[in-house]
Amino acid sequence: MKEPVIEIQNLSKSYGESRAVNQLNLTITRGEIFGLLGPNGAGKSTTILMLLGLSEPDSGTVKVLDIHSTRQPIQVKRRVGYLPDDVGFYEDRTGWENLMLTARLNRVPEREAKIRAEQLLQEVGLIDAAHKKAGAYSRGMRQRLGLADVLIKGPEIIILDEPTLGIDPKGMNELLELIQRLSREQGLTVLLSSHHLHQVQQICDRVGLFVNGRLLAEGDVPSLSHKLFGDDLIPVTAELDACNAELLEQLRAIDGVAQVATTMQEDSQGVTLQADCTEDRSAAIASAIVHAGAQLFRLERKQYGLDEIYQRYFAGGEDHGQLQYAEHTG
């Protein structure tokens, strides 16, 4: 069993009427990269602030590295690095000076701090800009400096709130690779919040889906889609030139195919056929069609990835309960 480093139990927090975090339970183990995925205003940042003891929960407990965050925030903050969304630096100080300030606040000995700052700046590719004022840094450079800033205290866990917000795709990929590499090299636990699915999918070991202050599901992406869409039928769509009743019967007879429906295409040059399967039966469907002598133009099995997860849960974020209900009945 891996050692849990972040344990959240029954955590709740509300601002006035609205519940930002609602009965949250989450455990993150050492060395993993966990993605907290959710639309804006889902309560991700609030959860992170409570992890660091910067915000007080209404109820529930947060333990980071076996330390109670609400009661002993200083101990937690000594061992956890946090990169806020839209991080700011003292703009009339250089990147180097900003890093050294953080190191001093963490009581890193001066000589060691200098070595570390140099190493980290090298690592994030800012060594040439180290003595430029932070105000002149671009957005991507600031995020990379932020990453160095988080790492200079030598943390065991790093928490990154929307680290890729507002960076161009190339910079985003570089940053994500950097995070992944550093985490693997130094055995860091990373908690990353985002509303970009693809980047999360790219580097995270596990993902937690966060909507309206609640964790809907957690796990790696395949198991997540299995969990979320396990009961649903897999639709297989085929385009062919013509379809007769005999072929339909054959298709219906395939074990695992629940129902088959056809629609004429608008230009009446072919037929679109949709078979809903309980398991993946696309190969059997294809061979049945070909054996029946029909011409198969296209065959597609729908695959549930994060996109569908996003569609289902985030697009209708406000009333996803209703949405889910509609889908199950319809």
Partner 1 sequence: MANSSTQSIQDNERSAMARIRSLFSSGDSSRDGSSSPLVVLIRKEMTDHVRSWRFIVLLGIIMLTCLASLYTALNSIQEAIRADESENSFIFLKLFTVSDGTLPSFIGFVGFLGPLLGIGLGFDAINSERNKGTLSRIMAQPVHRDDLLNAKFIASLTVIGLMFLTLGFLVTGLGILMIGIPPTFEEFLRVLCFLAVTVFYVGFWLNLSIVCSVRFRQPATSALSCIAVWLFFSFFYDMLLSLLARSLAPNAAATADQMLRYQEGMLWLSRLSPYSLFNEATTTLLMPSVRTLGPITVEQAHGAIASPLPLGQSLLLVWPHLTGLAAATLLCFAASYMMFMRQEIRGRS
**In this complex, which beta carbon is closest to partner 1, that of residue 40 or of residue 303?**
40
**In this complex, which beta carbon is closest to partner 1, that of residue 117 or of residue 288?**
117
Least distance from C-beta 262 to partner 1, angstroms? 53
Least distance from C-beta 53 to partner 1, angstroms? 10
Least distance from C-beta 251 to partner 1, angstroms? 55
Least distance from C-beta 89 to partner 1, angstroms? 7
State the residues that interact with partner 1 by CB under 8 A: 45, 49, 52, 54-55, 74-75, 77-78, 81-82, 84-92, 101-102, 104-110, 112-113, 146, 149, 153
Least distance from C-beta 84 to partner 1, angstroms? 4
Least distance from C-beta 230 to partner 1, angstroms? 38
SS (H, E, C) the chain: CCCEEEEEEEEEEEECCEEEEEEEEEEEECCCEEEEECCCCCCHHHHHHHHCCCCCCCEEEEEECCEECCCCHHHHHHHEEEECCCCCCCCCCEHHHHHHHHHHHCCCCHHHHHHHHHHHHHHCCCHHHCCCEHHHCCHHHHHHHHHHHHHCCCCCEEEEECCCCCCCHHHHHHHHHHHHHHHHHHCCEEEEEECCHHHHHHHCCEEEEEECCEEEEEECHHHHHHHHHCCCCEEEEEEECCCCHHHHHHHHHCCCEEEEEEEECCCCCCEEEEEEECCCCHHHHHHHHHHCCCCEEEEEECCCCHHHHHHHHHHCHHHHHHHHHHHHHC
**In this complex, which beta carbon is closest to partner 1, that of residue 107 or of residue 328?**
107
**In this complex, which beta carbon is closest to partner 1, that of residue 7 or of residue 97?**
97
**In this complex, which beta carbon is closest to partner 1, that of residue 35 or of residue 81?**
81
**In this complex, which beta carbon is closest to partner 1, that of residue 90 or of residue 325?**
90
